[in-house]
Structure 1
């Protein structure tokens, strides 16, 4: 195969925050002959905005961790403050006053508070058990196993909903699919704070990726125009030897480099959307296949007017259904975008995948049925709907990673480990902050430093 351009030192596949932070790390250390290949028409990855109902809403990452007493400040929150990105602290107060039954009507506030207190007590038990198991080198277990050990299982719709709120809402997958050891206590809350800053800025969450990019790439009118960034370049094959890598795209274009950084999502790797030649070793493929990427869906609905409660303590409301994760967590945008008349409902797991496979009209019918059970038959018809579909998008094949039970730290080291001149990065490779944007950022920086060492060795 003939290269279409001069070989470079490093090719980065993927222009999400991991790929851009890796590229910046290389550039800052004098390695400037790099090439970033991005399959879509934009940079930002799963930090992605869309115009809906006259407003800008986030399809992917939406919150930044914050809070007093945390071990350190989120680097992305610091970046957001630097460019004065508009954020509003999400208000979960009085949530117990806004939990609705399957067929309509509110649960008594005391009943919900008791269910939440019980869930938090069990979570504290789980956090202590996790720490004890790690200190004594015990095997991992699932969150569900921990709950059984406590002799508790959610049985009724309210208990299932509260359990969903504390686990699936954070992890994207249910307790049986989630590691105790690597979930509790929640490291991102301890490190960055458990307060949630909601991004509500027309520039979008992706502007933080651009902020990194502007420090080493050329821009014109807020659009990257650096010849080291190639958009709409869908990588299909990676050929590698000890002497370097050759990258082939779906358009039959060829690129060459000494080193390649693969900064695509775990879902892309699991679905073999990029072929490696030679094939990755069995231990590497197993490490990729046995980690988990969650399906998480946001559904946005635009109405002619707001028919839901507004004001302090009303931002979120919950819906309890016998089917776990059936349109469970709702949020209005009146605090951030007054008179926008937009609701967002979030779901994950099997319900998320089911919703992705049906039409938007079918989803709207289901969502409207739920809203009319909550607020009555007078609820007006939604004027518009938008459904995120991360799982079926070939550039992502999932929303964010989740650590499954009994997946070892050794396997995770193998997940992150390079194969010759081919390096791997992304939020899924972060040992401590997988599944969140901070993990993606740090992973890219770490991989960039590892590649620098590799090149300095002259291998």
Structure 2
């Protein structure tokens, strides 16, 4: 762990010396090779660490944060990580009994009408347009004469038609919405899928920008047991499993502090393991987990798990992944293209946040930035969006 921290610090020092254009960017794995992290890496370990312990440490250091391995992740744009630089590298688990959505409701209550109980009851907010609530695309429908009273429509959007005079949005329940402008906050994974059809088709530069970024898959699997058999106490919230297979149920977390006596463990998997697990029944996943925990604690009486929760973000057509990761070869030029509007169609989301992509605060701040760009056009007639040069 100490050696991994040393190499990461060396990578940070190297990263800040690279040209701002991104022309000298490299993968995190390339940086590791330069530091000769895993002796003798340059000769017989070209793809990174291969021993179980080295893989576990490497996975915990990088994959656990970016959801993809060092060989594909940009050094210049992720090391040092802007979120940790700006806000500190302490991480916390949200255990609020109201659920994480309470944050969303609080923000929405600042500009949408609510009833006496504080529940959002704004007639302009369209929910439950199909059998269940979805959030694949949030459309900010802004009319020139209602810039303050903007409508927010959350439905299953299937088609966005745009012209020089306006925008028409069609949804899965055959509803049609017309507006002067539209803001699309569908995830990068959804934009890379065929869920939403744009008419006319988005220009090639926009499609290429969308496809160049990675939509990573990050899966937190919760497993409940009838009793505890794992270590507890200060400094023991996390523990790693060193498998001969990289990322195989490697990072574990216990919740005695957050949820006393809940007897729940969280194991995180990413990338290819996430995709593999999503395609198999939960019973098989639970069987694999039981084999792992019993090998981790051979001297303990490990009971069978009583329940398991396996999210499937990659398989869900409304997400197609968990969050974006900045891959090698993509610069801020492509990020400007990703956020850039196409006519009257504007884009936002965590993947359009140049500094905080992959995070909720990135999505929040990107929404503010994108709204200002749209309002400047609709209200102030300042509609030109500049994309800097590739190597400027």
TM above 0.5, yes or no, is yes
1:195 to 2:90 alignment: yes
1:244 to 2:166 alignment: yes
1:136 is displaced (CA, Å) by 9.2
1:274 is displaced (CA, Å) by 0.4
CA distance in 1, matches of 2:266, 2:89: 21
Change in 2 beyond 3 A, CA 1:456/1:351 = same
| Residue of structure 2 in register with 1:343 after alignment | 265
- Residue pair 1:142, 1:180 contacting (<8 A) in 2 also: yes
| Residue of structure 2 in register with 1:451 after alignment | 374
Q: Which digits, 9 at most, give the CA deviation of each residue in 1:354-373, with x for residues without a partner?
A: 01111100000000000111
TM-score by length of 2: 0.85
SS across alignment from 2:302: coil
Q: How does 1:320-335 map to 2 (within 5 A)?
A: 320-335=242-257
SS across alignment from 1:224: coil
SS across alignment from 1:267: helix
1:306 to 2:228 alignment: yes
SS across alignment from 1:293: strand
Change in 2 beyond 3 A, CA 1:193/1:362 = same
Change in 2 beyond 3 A, CA 1:366/1:231 = same
| Residue of structure 2 in register with 1:160 after alignment | 55
Change in 2 beyond 3 A, CA 1:135/1:254 = closer
1:230 to 2:126 alignment: yes
Higher relative contact order (CA 8 A, sep 6+): 1
Q: Kindly report structure 1 stretches of 4+ aligned residues shifted beyond 6 Å.
A: none
Q: For 2:75, which of 164, 180, 192 is the aligned residue?
A: 180
1:425 to 2:320 alignment: no
SS across alignment from 1:174: coil
TM-score by length of 1: 0.73
1:415 to 2:334 alignment: no
1:281 to 2:203 alignment: yes
CA distance in 1, matches of 2:59, 2:23: 27
Q: Which digits, 9 at most, give the CA deviation of each residue in 1:331-388, with x for residues without a partner?
A: 1111111001111100101001101111100000000000111113620011111101
Alignment RMSD (CA, Å)? 1.4
CA distance in 1, matches of 2:21, 2:348: 31
| Residue of structure 2 in register with 1:292 after alignment | 214
- Residue pair 1:134, 1:181 contacting (<8 A) in 2 also: no
Give structure 1 stretches of 5+ with no counterpart: 1-115
Instruction: Tell me the number of residue pairs that the alignment of Structure 1 and Structure 2 aligns.
Output: 344
Q: Which digits, 9 at most, give the CA deviation of each residue in 1:93-133, with x for residues without a partner?
A: xxxxxxxxxxxxxxxxxxxxxxx111111111111111111
1:206 is displaced (CA, Å) by 1.6
| Residue of structure 1 in register with 2:317 after alignment | 394
Give structure 2 stretches of 5+ with no counterpart: 38-47, 129-154, 384-392
CA distance in 2, matches of 1:137, 1:163: 24
- Residue pair 1:139, 1:406 contacting (<8 A) in 2 also: no
CA distance in 1, matches of 2:54, 2:118: 48
